[in-house]
Amino acid sequence: MPETPSANLFDLIAARRPRSDQLALETSDATRLTYGALFARSAQAANALVALGVEPGDRVAAQVDKSADMIVLALACLRTGAALLPLNTAYTLAELEHFLGDAQPALTVCRPDGLDDIRRLAQKLGLPAVESLGVAGDGTFAERIAASPAEFATVARAPDDLAAILYTSGTTGRSKGAMLTHENLSSNALTLVDAWRFTAADRLIHALPVFHTHGLFVAVNVALLSGATMIFQNRFDPGAVIHTLPEATSLMGVPTFYTRLLEHAGLTREVCRRMRLFVCGSAPLLAETHAAWRERTGFSILERYGMTETNMITSNPYDGERRAGTVGFALPGVSVRISEAETGAPVPSGEIGVIEVKGPNVFRGYWRMPEKTAQEFRPDGYFITGDLGQVDADGYIHIVGRAKDLVISGGFNVYPKEVESEIDSIEGVLESAVIGVPHADFGEGVTAVVVPRPGVILTEAAILSALTGRLAKFKAPKRVFVVESLPRNAMGKVQKATLRETYKDTFR
Ligand code: AMP
């Protein structure tokens, strides 16, 4: 019988045969790793994992700062057949206790200055091994890497074997561990390489965190599968990005990257002269930002849509119109449909419903939560994203918000995005968020939280009067709060749950 080829994502990356002297990664502290060096260091790290007792199928948790060695660790996990469990660097010890207790990792890797605390926590939870990894090639795990041989036979994996567990941001209740397989990650990254035309000539500015699907899987896997070079910046700094733009070809970012870059006088057509692609996702990009970017740089931002559980689902086209305010079309090999949230029945064409998705990109379920997993899938295998969307006459998909953010006022559905768009078009408004909060008569009262442009003074009365006649009465906000900024998480998503909590007593 012929041997089944391994579906290990690392084997797939190696099989693309990047030139060994080609630069894979450079960091702001001048670390430069060629593909040859990256592969060799990942072999050393894989040997270090095995020496620490990590076996295929085990979990390796990592709460470390962004660095070249974090990527080395991620590749080493693939090579040993372990599942990487990256953790948001902002999580506190109390939060870590939940994640580590739930995932029971065979190894936990933390920042050097957290080693004592995490060792104590691991002891309490009965976890076997804890190591540290710093940003400058330091830490106990880095020492083990350096002391290990640079040859390692990558463990063969089946398509369905786990490659990673990513905890969802969990805005409602406990966050859940999304189980992602080698096939999930490789099928999606290969699709994106083609869809976005990545090649070894690309130099990608990577300023995203590496504990989230966007920075870890979209950016890193697409770059490595195309033999491209990543320019790592440990945190997003508009000045640093602008400084690097002249030597880069591509950028992947969240909407706040683009709005903050637009505020910087250094953003010009000239600095973008070698660029070919700006990708945006993880939160909605305002049509106005899309237009301003085009005006300033000559480029149309390519907006795409995805989530931790599904990898990327849709993308605007590389060729053809990138339509502002939309997330484009289903990616090749990915099936998308719009259904009635309650029943799962198809909605008439053009109407709003919940977005459902099926394909090799969709995760295998939530770690140790079979009931929760079952609730999120339809009987025919479609995953219910919880995002509300509609398809326009040309087939472009529009996202109108999360199902749980839908406001129901007096029995009528109010889609926050529609109200936000009207508010955002008022002179002097920078951005807004619309939420529903408890209201004795209406069930929920539409409430708007509005951020003025710098130097502009806005009042509730002025906003309400500007909205008169532009929205059906039931959609119009009953109260407007003017604030300096909206609460956002690390990926730039507006935290509507926080806003609902802040304004919960508005109508009481
Ligand atoms: P996460 O799992 O943290 O990546 O969050 C996924 C969620 O982010 C999706 O379910 C959407 O609600 C939102 N999202 C991602 N990309 C977009 C986009 N381009 N436009 C609007 N929302 C988006």
Percent of the chain with pLDDT strictly greater than 90: 89
Q: Are 196 and 190 within 8 A, CB to CB?
A: no
**pLDDT beyond 60 at 361:** yes
What's the distance, Cα to Cα, between the start and end of the chain in Å? 72
Instruction: Using alpha carbons, select from 400, 359, 401 the residue that is nearest to residue 383.
Output: 359
Give the ligand 1 atom nearest the CA of 308: 2
Identify whether 65 is part of a domain.
Answer: yes
Q: Are residues 493 and 471 in the same domain?
A: yes
Mutate to test the pocket of ligand 1, among 493, 494, 495, 496 (most ligand atoms within 8 A of CB): 493
Give me ligand 1 centre to Cα 461, in Å: 33
Mutate to test the pocket of ligand 1, among 212, 256, 304, 307 (most ligand atoms within 8 A of CB): 307
Tokens encoding 211: 């504990």
Give me ligand 1 centre to Cα 311, in Å: 10
Examine the fold and report which residue of 383, 402, 421 is the final residue of a domain before the chain moves on.
Answer: 402
Contacts of residue 352, defined as CB under 8 A and 6 or more positions apart, other chains included, come to 338, 388, 389, 390, 400, 415
Q: Are residues 114 and 131 in the same domain?
A: yes
Task: State how far the Cα of 303 lies from the Cα of 317, in Å rounded to an integer.
Answer: 9
Identify whether 446 is part of a domain.
Answer: yes
Domain of residue 441, CATH code = 3.30.300.30
For the Cβ of 169 lying below 6 angstroms from any atom of ligand 1, the answer is yes
Give me ligand 1 centre to Cα 499, in Å: 18
Identify whether 413 is part of a domain.
Answer: yes
For the Cβ of 305 lying below 6 angstroms from any atom of ligand 1, the answer is yes
Identify whether 313 is part of a domain.
Answer: yes
CA distances from 225 to 35, 41, 186, 190, 217 (A): 11, 18, 9, 7, 11
In the chain, what is the greatest distance between 2 CA atoms, to the nearest angstrom? 76
Average pLDDT, the chain: 95
For the Cβ of 167 lying below 6 angstroms from any atom of ligand 1, the answer is no
Q: Whose CA is nearest to atom 8 of ligand 1?
A: 282
86-89: long-range pairs with CB below 8 Å, 24+? 86/61, 86/62, 86/164, 86/166, 86/210, 86/211, 86/212, 86/216, 87/61, 87/62, 87/63, 87/167, 87/211, 88/63, 88/167, 88/209, 88/211, 88/212, 88/490, 89/63, 89/64, 89/65, 89/209, 89/211
User: Which residues are paired to 399 by β-bridges?
Assistant: 389
Identify whether 166 is part of a domain.
Answer: yes
DSSP string, 51-120: HTT--TT-EEEEE--S-HHHHHHHHHHHHHTPEEEE--TT--HHHHHHHHHHH--SEEEE-GGGHHHHHH
For the Cβ of 281 lying below 6 angstroms from any atom of ligand 1, the answer is yes
| pLDDT, tens digit (0-9, with 9 covering 90-100), for 420-477 | 999 999 999 999 999 999 998 888 999 999 999 999 999 999 999 999 999 988 899 9
Burial of 151 per CB tally in 10 Å (0-12, 13-18, 19+): exposed
The boundaries of the domain holding residue 92 are 9-171
Q: Are residues 19 and 132 in the same domain?
A: yes
Q: Residue 291: enclosing H or E segment and its boundaries?
A: helix 287-297
Instruction: Using alpha carbons, select from 466, 379, 393, 472 the residue that is nearest to residue 423.
Output: 466
In the structure, what pLDDT confidence band is assigned to residue 173 with cuts at 50, 70 and 90?
low
Q: Are 247 and 257 within 8 A, CB to CB?
A: no
Identify whether 373 is part of a domain.
Answer: yes
Q: Whose CA is nearest to atom 6 of ligand 1?
A: 307
Angle CA 29–193–33, to nearest 5: 25
Q: Are 199 and 227 within 8 A, CB to CB?
A: yes
Identify whether 218 is part of a domain.
Answer: no
Identify whether 412 is part of a domain.
Answer: yes
What pLDDT was estimated at residue 211?
95
Instruction: Using alpha carbons, select from 159, 167, 209, 208 the residue that is nearest to residue 188.
Output: 159
Task: State how far the Cα of 452 lies from the Cα of 450, in Å rounded to an integer.
Answer: 6
Examine the fold and report which residue of 402, 437, 470 is the final residue of a domain before the chain moves on.
Answer: 402
Q: Are residues 371 and 445 in the same domain?
A: no
Please tell me the total count of domains within the chain: 3
The amino acid sitting at 216 is: L
Helix (H, G, I), strand (E, B) or coil at 267: coil
| pLDDT, tens digit (0-9, with 9 covering 90-100), for 393-410 | 999 999 998 888 999 998
Please tell me what DSSP assigns to residue 127.
-
What pLDDT was estimated at residue 170?
60
Q: Are residues 22 and 163 in the same domain?
A: yes
| pLDDT, tens digit (0-9, with 9 covering 90-100), for 312-345 | 999 999 999 999 999 999 999 999 999 999 999 9
| pLDDT, tens digit (0-9, with 9 covering 90-100), for 52-75 | 999 999 999 999 999 999 999 999
Tokens encoding 182: 């080698």
Q: Are 46 and 152 within 8 A, CB to CB?
A: yes
Q: Are residues 35 and 152 in the same domain?
A: yes
DSSP string, 447-480: EEEEEEPTT----HHHHHHHHTTTS-GGGS-SEE
What pLDDT was estimated at residue 368?
96
SS (H, E, C) 163-202: EEEEECCCCCCCCCEEEEEHHHHHHHHHHHHHHCCCCCCC
**pLDDT beyond 90 at 508:** no
Q: Are 202 and 212 within 8 A, CB to CB?
A: no
Q: Are residues 394 and 324 in the same domain?
A: yes
Tell me the mean pLDDT in the region 19-34: 95
Q: Are residues 384 and 430 in the same domain?
A: no
The amino acid sitting at 407 is: V
Q: Are residues 145 and 13 in the same domain?
A: yes
What pLDDT was estimated at residue 2?
52
Domain of residue 390, CATH code = 2.30.38.10
Domain of residue 98, CATH code = 3.40.50.12780
Give me ligand 1 centre to Cα 465, in Å: 32
For the Cβ of 287 lying below 6 angstroms from any atom of ligand 1, the answer is no
Please tell me what DSSP assigns to residue 380.
T
Tell me the mean pLDDT in the region 165-193: 89
Q: Are residues 283 and 146 in the same domain?
A: no
For the Cβ of 387 lying below 6 angstroms from any atom of ligand 1, the answer is yes
Q: Whose CA is nearest to atom 21 of ligand 1?
A: 284
**pLDDT beyond 70 at 204:** yes
Give the ligand 1 atom nearest the CA of 280: 19
What pLDDT was estimated at residue 492?
87
What pLDDT was estimated at residue 151?
97
Give the ligand 1 atom nearest the CA of 386: 10
Q: Are residues 428 and 390 in the same domain?
A: no
Please tell me what DSSP assigns to residue 141.
H
Examine the fold and report which residue of 402, 423, 457 is the final residue of a domain before the chain moves on.
Answer: 402
CA 133 to chain CA centroid, nearest Å? 23
Q: Are residues 456 and 335 in the same domain?
A: no
Tokens 């079309």 correspond to what residue?
329
For the Cβ of 308 lying below 6 angstroms from any atom of ligand 1, the answer is yes
